[in-house]
Chain A
Amino acid sequence: DTAVSQTPKYLVTQMGNDKSIKCEQNLGHDTMYWYKQDSKKFLKIMFSYNNKELIINETVPNRFSPKSPDKAHLNLHINSLELGDSAVYFCASSQDGLGGNTIYFGEGSWLTVV
């Protein structure tokens, strides 16, 4: 029943590793997002995809690469993990990318880089 689901929920990994976080939404939405929430709870958008096409790419290091195999999935791959990448990553979706649509969030993925 989960509308936006992301896995894994918790991930502890060493610096320099490559890891992926998967996201799926079953709401039939056209737009999906990745947000990063830091230790101070500040939420910042990283990427936005509409129908598998990238529409927003904020100033995120190239080590972060989103992949959208279809409009229901938006995975986040992170290369060469750094300590500063430790955060909670939220996947989200909305009906489309147009104004006023509610954004539905996943439960979050807690990434800890040691």
Chain B
Amino acid sequence: AQSVTQLDSQVPVFEEAPVELRCNYSSSVSVYLFWYVQYPNQGLQLLLKYLSGSTLVKGINGFEAEFNKSQTSFHLRKPSVHISDTAEYFCAVITMNSGGYQKVTFGTGTKLQVIP
């Protein structure tokens, strides 16, 4: 079984300040890791993903995340946030099921509130 934990349901941060959104996962097999962003009344958009290789991945809108296998984490960071970054952020873990297809588990989301 796999699981994803996003410990912070809400993160308020001042504009131009740095932010880190935390994501921890649990899985007995290899994982692929994703971060998605959901703006109000919209669907989810991919921010970045880790499949293999370099553990530091860069995504859109200045976001980056680092895969830490020993800590089973995939925290999302941005050095300076903008008002437009206000949204819900979802971490997702993908593994392969017994039938050879991907099994996706989403975290419960973190609402990033950027304060002017």
Known: A90-B44, A107-B42, A108-B42. A99 touches B102 (CB 8 A): yes
B:4-61 near A, CB below 8 Å: 32, 34, 36, 38, 41-46, 49, 51
**How many pairs of residues, A versus B, come closer than 8 Å at their CB atoms?**
62
Partner of B101, one of A40, A55, A90, A107: A55
- Would you call A108 and B94 a contact (CB within 8 A)? no
Q: Are A42 and B108 in contact (CB under 8 A)?
A: yes
| A98 touching B108, Cβ below 8 Å | no
Q: Evaluate contact between B100 and A102: CB separation under 8 angstroms.
A: no
Q: Which residues of B contact A4 (CB under 8 A)?
A: 43
Please indicate the chain B residues that have their CB under 8 angstroms from the CB of A94 in the complex. 102
- With known contacts A41-B88, A41-B108, A100-B32, A105–B44 Cβ distance under 8 A: yes
Whether A102 pairs with B46 at a CB distance below 8 angstroms is yes
Q: Residues 1-26 of chain A: 1 if any B CB is under 8 Å from the residue's CB, otherwise 0? A: 00010000000000000000000000
Interface bits B93-116 vs A (CB < 8 Å: 1, else 0): 011110111111010110100000
Indicate whether B90 reaches chain A with its CB closer than 8 angstroms.
Answer: yes
Contact across chains for A45 and B99 when beta carbons are under 8 A apart: no
- Shortest CB–CB separation between residue B96 and chain A, in angstroms? 5
* Contact sample, A vs B, 23 pairs, CB 8 Å cutoff: A4-B43, A40-B108, A41-B88, A41-B108, A42-B106, A43-B106, A55-B101, A56-B101, A56-B103, A94-B102, A98-B101, A99-B32, A99-B94, A99-B96, A100-B32, A100-B102, A101-B102, A102-B46, A102-B49, A104-B46, A105-B45, A106-B43, A108-B43
Contact surface of A with B, Cβ cutoff 8 Å:
4, 31, 40-45, 48, 50, 55-56, 90, 94, 97-108
